[in-house]
Amino acid sequence: MSRDEFRDWFRSIDFFERKDGWYFLSPHGLAVGPYGSEQKAGQQAAKLARVLRPLSSPAASRGAVIEFMLTGSHVG
């Protein structure tokens, strides 16, 4: 993900609530969550942003999002 793409995503993260909690959309449109509150979803979005920022290829950033979701880093 380019610096501009990253900046645009981070500035416009979409948060939304479902019956089971709060989610946010990753740069690739994957719903990450659920979290117990919008604030917790925001904290985890920032955590994911720190993981994604140094990555330059779309494949690497998509893989990092999936790993973030699978390792339980998103549970909250």
Mean pLDDT computed over every residue of the chain: 86
pLDDT in tens, 58-71: 889 899 999 999 98
Residue 43, pLDDT > 70, answer yes
Tokens at residue 32, please? 């990450």
Tell me which range, 36-40, 57-61, 69-73, is most confidently predicted by mean pLDDT: 36-40
What is the layout of strands, in order, in the sheet containing 21-25?
15-18, 21-25, 31-35
The 10 Å Cβ neighbour count of residue 70 is 9
pLDDT for residue 7: 76
Domain boundaries, the chain: 3-70
Query: What angle do the packed helices 38-52 and 58-70 form, to 10 degrees?
Result: 140
Q: What is the pTM of this model?
A: 0.81
